[in-house]
Amino acid sequence: MGHYSSRYSDKKLFLNEAQEIFPNVHLSEDGKKFVFHN
């Protein structure tokens, strides 16, 4: 995820909530790279 709601002071809370729907979600930050496999 690359956009975080300002209602979350701790991004980990945002991650936990998103993982309830999308178990394989990851937090992003400037410069972080992800490799996607088909």
Number of H helices, E strands in the chain: 1, 0
Q: What is the pLDDT, as a whole number, of residue 21?
A: 96
Q: What is the pLDDT, as a whole number, of residue 26?
A: 86
Residue 10 region, left (φ>0) first, then alpha (ψ -120 to 50), else beta? beta
Residue 6 domain-assigned (yes or no): yes
Residue 38 domain-assigned (yes or no): no
Q: What is the pLDDT, as a whole number, of residue 23?
A: 93
Q: Are 32 and 2 contacting, i.e. CB atoms less than 8 angstroms apart?
A: no
Residue 12 domain-assigned (yes or no): yes
Read off the pTM. 0.59
Residue 20 domain-assigned (yes or no): yes
Q: What is the pLDDT, as a whole number, of residue 2?
A: 64
Q: What is the pLDDT, as a whole number, of residue 1?
A: 60
pLDDT digits (tens, 9 = 90+) for 1-38: 666 777 778 888 888 988 999 998 888 877 888 888 87
Number of independent structural domains in the chain: 1
* Residues of the domain holding 15: 1-33
